[in-house]
Amino acid sequence: MARSALITGASSGLGAEYARQLAAEGADLVLVARDRSALDDLAQGLRSAYGVQVEVLAADLLEPRRLAEVEERLADSRRPIEVLVNNAGFGLPLSFERNDIDDEVGHLRLHVEVPMRLTHAALGAMLARGHGRILNVASVAAFIPRSTYGASKGWLVSFSRWANGRYAARGVTVTAVCPGYTHTQFHERMGLAPGEEGVPAGLWLNARDVVAESLRAAARGAAVSVPSLRYKLLAGLARIAPPSLAARVGESGR
């Protein structure tokens, strides 16, 4: 059982669900997100429900100074972090040619540079102790062409596969979590009301199930977790589908 965990993007959605499930296992938590009020509310509820210690770090991870503060917290051997969940992220419209390029650069940094830096910060202390787990929340879009979102998540999966193979023998596992469409606030933040995403009801997943399955996969030392059989099959088919067909599939939903 993990004794402590740091979770980014913890104020809602999958991040908040990771916080609840890890707290239920008795882990003390460090919650990271931009919205301090939401973090404080979540922290208070977790302390009351599970009796764990919860530290709040309100930080915009695209601000170098705030990102450095989170890196320092992860590297602090006096207050060890057993589990790192790199979950912070956001989506952009699929029309790359119409998106603001600075928004795209920030999107790339948050999905690639930030988890890379935080993984690097956590690894030193974890390897010194000889144990630790890192979960990088990617997406099934890593296997299906989907503009720059799928590209960034593909990088995260490839990096996690390599890191798991490199460090698992030294006690530190790295797992890329690749859910499909999951009921969270992710799509609402893109301006989409429920039912507007254009995704069949049968493809939606429950956040609680996604998190539980990914934590089991990480405990087994799996390099990749694709929650649900339907998405395992879809990811497998995408690998052998012609690129033009895979790209059309990637256009589903918004």
Active site residues: 149
In angstroms, how far is CA 126 from the centroid of its own chain? Answer: 19
Q: Report d(CA 36, CA 74) in Å as an integer.
A: 19
Question: Which among 157, 180, 184, 182 has a CA at the least distance from the CA of 231?
Answer: 180
Q: Where are the alpha helices (DSSP H) in 101-228?
A: 101-108, 114-129, 147-167, 207-220
Q: Spell out the residues 6+ positions from residue 71 whose beta carbon is closer than 8 angstroms to its own.
A: 117, 118, 120, 121
H or E element, residue 14: helix 13-24
Residues 121, 113 contacting (CB under 8 angstroms): no
Question: Which among 217, 236, 233, 237 has a CA at the least distance from the CA of 225?
Answer: 217
Tokens of 224: 């990749």
Q: Count CB neighbours of 165 within 10 A.
A: 11
Tokens of 223: 């390099």
